[in-house]
Structure 1
């Protein structure tokens, strides 16, 4: 008899561990997971949880892992249906209706251009090689700033779309000074905005020249100031899903989904703030401020920040403020596309709080001074 034949019962076959087939496990020893305990042992060993089943820890842990945006949206819809009458009564108040109207108008104006900017940003991130920007822009950063500023002429969009584009340019290796100059210039000097300004001011065609010139100068000054005083650690770009290793189609839609969710959330916060300001600021204050030349400039500059009107539509609002001087209204048109509540909110989300807390106030001061200077010469 061989040594293999002499194996004692319960020791298992040579080279194996555990119990031999047909032999009960000793007391206190469980059978391997997923294997039924031998007959007569009185014990059942559970198999591993299949995919989709509740993991260890009970249904609470399973629910916590499964609740997402779809479930939250469904719950909100149920609540809206259940409490539709109290909600309808609450929103019938005139001030709340004004708030809702302003909020919706800001979102409707901005969302198409935000989507356009996000799509273009994804195209830059996925389809445009880094070597293209090395060839398209001058090597010296000081010369790249005016070139990037002038590039805003060929991209019809508003400030909501320029933020994700600027962030994508920085990711692709473009110097931040040039990307920020583009961010400021594109919403103010593109053909759609200048055409809208000409239509809004048919009796003052010099307003088109003043707006385009002042906005271009502000963009270049801020780009050069960033070269002189800016620090790269002030910019904290949000983490974007790694696109390397993905196909171009998958990488494109991954970048689109990330930027829409990230930038769209801050757009909503900015639109809510702008709607609140519209409700809280009395119109009679504007008439009082219009009589003072200095206060009128500051009033419309602050108003441009608070109203957060899309650059394609702000010229018509400025034209309606006929009690103010042309210079004051030029300040309104120059400041608005560069510094407003929704734009600052999006800059915080795209570049970080440290960047926005420095860049936005500096842009506001430079825009007011340059617009007043240009207005004094042009008008």
Structure 2
């Protein structure tokens, strides 16, 4: 028979959370900072990589934090019912309204998935919810401001990203209106509204913490990948890509899917790839918030694998086309 005190102690034992891991790594980094600095200073290549990594991370972090705070506030204090009240009954018009509504609800793509699922469950047409899913992380003010900061002197890049992303969201919504079937969405959204208790401030704190750790991890990965590209990829490869526009567009689109960066920080990674023309980098910025590996995993959990198998490939193609058209309209062939 298990002793009651032992059982109580077992249940009360604190679990190791992502915050504990983050704090441990932070302490280790501080403790070994001087050793790491000497190691980096010993190699010019490492110094270059560290400069690229630090520049991207420092520039992107304020926008990432701002986006996380806004996203947490939405999760805690804004109900999807507010958006549902303003959605027209006409499905085609509803797609347009929810697509544009993404401008008013800053947050990364991770937060847009459960919100879109809740909209569906509250009676919003699926096509309209999917338009919101694609527009919210791509055309909100935080993303557009971060793009303007990452590309100083290139206001056309902000316009091209806005219209390319909005066109992707609207076109995918209207395509679903015409061809989509309800049975393609099989999974149900788990009840996450009250997972942190009834306190809205607790929901805000936990949502913001989770989003910061997840998005921060992808930012570190993306900054490291950009630094690695500067180090290990020969200059002639970038010169070749710069001279092969279609190939560079495809490469950057695939890279956006694989890196799976947060939309509030991806502009700084794209800006660091200055050896490529603006158009392929624009494709990177439009494709990333619409379809990447982490989004596909989250969508599979909320909508079902059958949905992802149909939606993700088509979104990938539509995003490339919309980004290219928008890029040629605002950037030319740069």
Alpha carbons 1:269, 1:342 under 8 Å: kept: no
In the aligned structure 2, how far is the partner of 1:272 from the partner of 1:317? 10
In the aligned structure 2, how far is the partner of 1:74 from the partner of 1:152? 34
**Structure 2 residue 18 is the aligned partner of structure 1 residue 64:** no
The corresponding residue for 1:294 is 246
In the aligned structure 2, how far is the partner of 1:71 from the partner of 1:163? 23
Deviates more, 1:331-340 or 1:66-75: 66-75
Alpha carbons 2:238, 2:276 under 8 Å: kept: no
Calculate the aligned-residue CA RMSD, in Å: 4.5
Structure 1 362/71 Cα, relative in aligned 2: closer, same or farther at 3 Å?
Answer: closer
Structure 1 121/167 Cα, relative in aligned 2: closer, same or farther at 3 Å?
Answer: farther
**Structure 2 residue 281 is the aligned partner of structure 1 residue 329:** yes
TM-score, normalization by structure 1 = 0.63
The corresponding residue for 1:110 is 64
The corresponding residue for 1:367 is 319
In the aligned structure 2, how far is the partner of 1:194 from the partner of 1:78? 34
Name the SS of the counterpart of 2:200 in structure 1.
Answer: helix
Structure 1 324/265 Cα, relative in aligned 2: closer, same or farther at 3 Å?
Answer: closer
Q: Cα deviation per residue 1:256-310 (whole Å; 9 max; x = unaligned)?
A: 4675576567546645754664566533344442221211111222233344444
How is 1:49-60 mapped onto 2 (pairs within 5 angstroms)? 56-57=2-3, 60=6
Alpha carbons 1:149, 1:181 under 8 Å: kept: yes
Structure 1 351/69 Cα, relative in aligned 2: closer, same or farther at 3 Å?
Answer: farther
In the aligned structure 2, how far is the partner of 1:73 from the partner of 1:323? 37
Structure 1 204/160 Cα, relative in aligned 2: closer, same or farther at 3 Å?
Answer: same
In the aligned structure 1, how far is the partner of 2:119 from the partner of 2:326? 30
Higher relative contact order by CA 8 Å / sep ≥ 6: 1 or 2?
2
The corresponding residue for 2:291 is 339
C-alpha deviation, 1:115, in angstroms:
3.6
C-alpha deviation, 1:203, in angstroms:
5.1
The corresponding residue for 1:222 is 172
The corresponding residue for 1:207 is 157
User: Could you tell me which of 59, 77, 87 is aligned with 1:123?
Assistant: 77
Structure 1 75/193 Cα, relative in aligned 2: closer, same or farther at 3 Å?
Answer: closer
Q: Which has the higher helix share?
A: 2
In the aligned structure 2, how far is the partner of 1:75 from the partner of 1:315? 27
Name the SS of the counterpart of 2:325 in structure 1.
Answer: helix
**Structure 2 residue 129 is the aligned partner of structure 1 residue 179:** yes
Length, aligned pairs only: 316
In the aligned structure 1, how far is the partner of 2:207 from the partner of 2:7? 30
Name the SS of the counterpart of 1:239 in structure 2.
Answer: coil
Listed as ranges, the gaps of 5+ residues in structure 1 are 1-54
TM-score, normalization by structure 2 = 0.70
Deviates more, 1:162-171 or 1:254-263: 254-263
In the aligned structure 2, how far is the partner of 1:266 from the partner of 1:189? 21
Structure 1 199/175 Cα, relative in aligned 2: closer, same or farther at 3 Å?
Answer: same
C-alpha deviation, 1:182, in angstroms:
1.6
User: Could you tell me which of 190, 199, 210 is aligned with 2:140?
Assistant: 190
C-alpha deviation, 1:219, in angstroms:
0.3
User: Could you tell me which of 242, 252, 277 is aligned with 2:200?
Assistant: 252
Name the SS of the counterpart of 2:92 in structure 1.
Answer: helix
Alpha carbons 2:223, 2:269 under 8 Å: kept: no
Structure 1 316/254 Cα, relative in aligned 2: closer, same or farther at 3 Å?
Answer: closer
In the aligned structure 2, how far is the partner of 1:369 from the partner of 1:240? 35
Structure 1 208/120 Cα, relative in aligned 2: closer, same or farther at 3 Å?
Answer: same
Listed as ranges, the gaps of 5+ residues in structure 2 are 41-45
